[in-house]
Structure 1
């Protein structure tokens, strides 16, 4: 194998390794960025949906309380209650469609069914005592279930964030390992150049200088079968021919 080919092969190998390490690191970082963006988007969307459900229930609670205390405007409050109930149902269906694990909505589903059953009992004769003794419990249960759902989202976001941090560490480690391998390969390449190229050339130069200046024997050991060895053999032949001429 020629020297030119060896040097070219060494640099190409190092270049390919560093290029691959850069590609791998870039892909890992891109995947990390996508995962982070998706996580934040899903968490924000889930929290927004939870807020919509909570707002709808609170509006319905206010309208129901006003309808009980102000019997002269029942039709208006009934419309507000129906609109709030519709807004809650829409937000709940959106949450069911977007969540991968709808089981987390079971508590809200159960509480909302009980709440709607209680609200359906409202009549013109319903008084404030019913509101405080019967209705309030179902209202608190439903709002508590929604708030617990929001807390679960926050906890899952924290867990996902920790996982993303570990993924980012692994992504950086891939680049570091590849870079370390590239540096190691560069050192090996330097060692090979020093021992199989630079070293033999210096030995040939030193031995040839010794022959020219002091007529010392030209003796150089070259272990490779390349241009360096060919150069050594030609110089040895030239020195031998020069000795014969002098004799």
Structure 2
């Protein structure tokens, strides 16, 4: 294999090999981008889920406190204890998985403060219920009920909620929201890295495209200069020779197989000239 055929084959093989390697590199980078994207989405979903669990536990705890104060329903004591346990479990998970520790200390302090107030509320509620029961027994026994009224007035649930618990609850929910914002902000560098990886995935394709355009332009010039123009020139010169008897001459540069074709046409013309006198 030589000449024009070799050059054309090498050009097309170069394009194929370039496309193959560019595709491999792009596929590898795209898989990395896909893996990083999936990891970022999982981390974001996990952080949002933890924040939602903490907000739900705090909301249930707040609702139970309000119902206990307003309606004096002891059934909500179980809800309060469950909310405290759920908040503690969620905080433990957050401590293990948290990447950013900036708002974690504030969140822990706020949660512990709410838990302390809730436990204090349960203790006071239990004391009040015990005092009410003992007061009723004293009434039934004919004793004065002033002691019972004084015990009931010792703990003002509405005032305690407004001055202590609501402020601690607002601080806790604010700490949870700050934690949620901080965890989402911590994903920004990873998102920027993902952006760079996306550019890295596209870059080989762009480079390959530019190289392929250069190869195609070079191939076009080569085919036009060393194949198309010489063949057209030979066709015109051979036509002039056959019609008008003009000499077979080619001004275009010829190489390789085209040069061999020109030499053979010259040989045929010379042979035809030699055979004409013999026929006469």
TM-score normalised over the length of structure 1: 0.77
Matched, 1:150 2:166: no
Which whole-Å CA distance do the structure 2 matches of 1:72 and 1:222 have between them?
Answer: 106
The structure that has the greater radius of gyration is 2
CA shift digits 1:113-146 (9 cap, x unpaired): 3333444444326532233212222221111111
Q: How does 1:66-105 map to 2 (within 5 A)?
A: 66-68=67-69, 73=74, 76-105=75-104
The two structures, once aligned, show a CA RMSD in angstroms of 3.4
Structure 1 unaligned residues grouped into runs of 5+: none
1:191 aligned counterpart, secondary structure: helix
CA deviation map 1:9-67 (0-9, x unaligned): 22222223334444444444444444333333322221121110111112222334444
Q: In the aligned structure 2, how far is the partner of 1:127 from the partner of 1:173? A: 70
Per the normalisation by structure 2, the TM-score is: 0.69
Measured after TM superposition, the shift of residue 78 of structure 1 is: 4.2
Equivalents in 1 of 2:32, 2:66: separation in Å?
51
**What does 1:14-93 correspond to in 2, within 5 Å?**
14-68=15-69, 73=74, 76-93=75-92
User: Is 2:67–2:73's contact at 8 Å kept on the other side of the alignment?
Assistant: no
**Deviation (angstroms), 1:204:** 2.5
Alpha-carbon distance, 1:208 to partner: 2.9
Q: How many residues align?
A: 244
**Shift, 1:104, TM fit:** 4.4
2:266 maps to which of 205, 216, 236: 236
Q: d(CA) in 2 for partners of 1:215 and 1:33?
A: 72
The match for 2:107 is: 108
Q: Are the aligned partners of 2:18 and 2:208 in contact in 1 as well (CA < 8 Å)?
A: yes
Q: Distance in 2 between matches of 1:95 and 1:196?
A: 73
| Structure 1 residue 228 displacement after superposition | 1.8
Structure 2 residues not aligned, in runs of 5+: 128-154
For residues 180 and 137 of structure 1, do their structure 2 counterparts lie closer, same or farther at Cα, with a shift above 3 Å needed?
Answer: same
Q: Distance in 1 between matches of 2:267 and 2:103?
A: 88
Kindly indicate whether the alpha-carbon contact (under 8 Å) linking 1:21 and 1:179 is maintained by their aligned counterparts in 2: no
Check conservation: 1:64, 1:77, Cα contact below 8 A.
yes
